[in-house]
Chain A
Amino acid sequence: MTLDVVTNERIMLSLGEWAVSDDPERELVCLGLGSCVAFCAYDPQKHIGGMAHMVLPDSDHGKRSGAEAKFVDLAVPLVVREMEGLGALRSRLVVHLVGGAQMLSGASFSDTMMIGQRNVEAAHEAVEAQRLKITSEDTGGDAGRTVKLAIATGQLDISSPRKKLTAAAA
């Protein structure tokens, strides 16, 4: 028998994926978010967490097939509904938004989609439509982020390697 190191089992969410869990040994993770936005929600009383790796703001424009949580306007209500299914109470949900960076800058790309900013705006609207409040937000800027949500504690861990590098160099 090997000795277990106390590390949570990670559930990795790729583009357009979502997950909810009430398993205290799990951690929901979005790696390397650029313009994508992670919707993170947690019920601190029931210790139920949910996360979605959202890519695009609006399902009205675009192909609806594929991963369900691809669009912000579909992903947020979906995760909230699934969390309620596990016994979470909407009024207790603590909500965090992470990501939505503008990865490209410079004159030649000024008219690209501004997708990061639009994702963040859409996430605000979707959260409001669910009658939820945003507790914390780490969005915008020009650096990628990784976010982890521990189901046992609701603790949110955000890292941004490039931001750290830039800060160290300054």
Chain B
Amino acid sequence: MNDRTLAPWTDLVSLGTRHAMAGLSEMLGEEIAVSSFALKRTPVAELANVVGGAEVDAVGIYLTVTGAANGHLMLIYEPRIAYAFVDLLMGQPAETTQELDEMGRSALGEMGNIIGAFFLNAIADATGLELMPSPPAVMTDMAGALLDVVTAEILLRQDDTYVAETTFTTADREIEGQFMVMPSEELLDVLLKSSKAA
């Protein structure tokens, strides 16, 4: 993996993210636009800094990717942002949700389902590969502890990974968040080869 792979990978993740938001818009019946998008390559050991440090409280939505190759998808948010998503998903006014109950968890899980499926479908269509998301796990804990779910497996093979930083805008609110798409080296290879061939 090197810097030259960043450009085509950025295109794929950007495409996937836009499709994921389109899927979410469909689910909510409300337009959600991706107002900014940046893909960053970052050392795995520094991932927690992206969400404000290893000790801060965070909410994670995690899916594994299987099929043509393996990888991880993790949406990780500070609680304030996760609550904003719950309000959006449940059609409540902003700042209604102040803690994560079972209903909120299940709403975030459903969001993970939609985002995972649309994201992977878009990439599958662009590359001709079959990629399937697992059911999502919704977790709350310190950011470092949540990230361990993916970091251990990634560090086994590589020292860097990719984080997409996105801002979503709806008619009445703006939500910033990180969308961590962590391809295994194997998955990245397969994707980039197929993307070039396409």
Instruction: List residues of chain A with CB under 8 Å of any chain B CB.
Output: 14-17, 31-36, 55-56, 61-63, 65-67, 70, 101, 103-106, 108-109, 112-113, 115-116, 143-146, 161-162
Contact = CB atoms under 8 A, between A and B. Distances in A.
A103 B139 contact: yes
Contacts of A113: 152-153
B149 A103 contact: yes
A31 B158 CA distance: 22
Interface of B: 44-46, 48, 53-55, 57, 62, 64, 134-135, 137, 139-149, 151-153, 155-159
Contact of B145 (A33, A55, A61): A33
Contact of A34 (B134, B149, B157): B149
B99 to A, nearest CB: 10
Interface centre among B142, B152, B158 (most CB of A within 10 A): B152
A101 B96 CA distance: 32
Contacts of B153: 113, 115
B54 A62 contact: no
Contacts of A62: 155-157
A154 to B, nearest CB: 22
Contacts of A109: 64, 134, 137
A82 B138 CA distance: 40
A11 to B, nearest CB: 14
A34 B155 contact: no
A32 B143 contact: yes
Given A32-B48, A55-B151, A161-B141, 17 more contacts: A14-B46, A15-B151, A31-B144, A32-B141, A32-B142, A35-B149, A55-B148, A66-B155, A66-B159, A103-B149, A108-B134, A109-B134, A112-B64, A143-B145, A144-B145, A144-B148, A146-B55
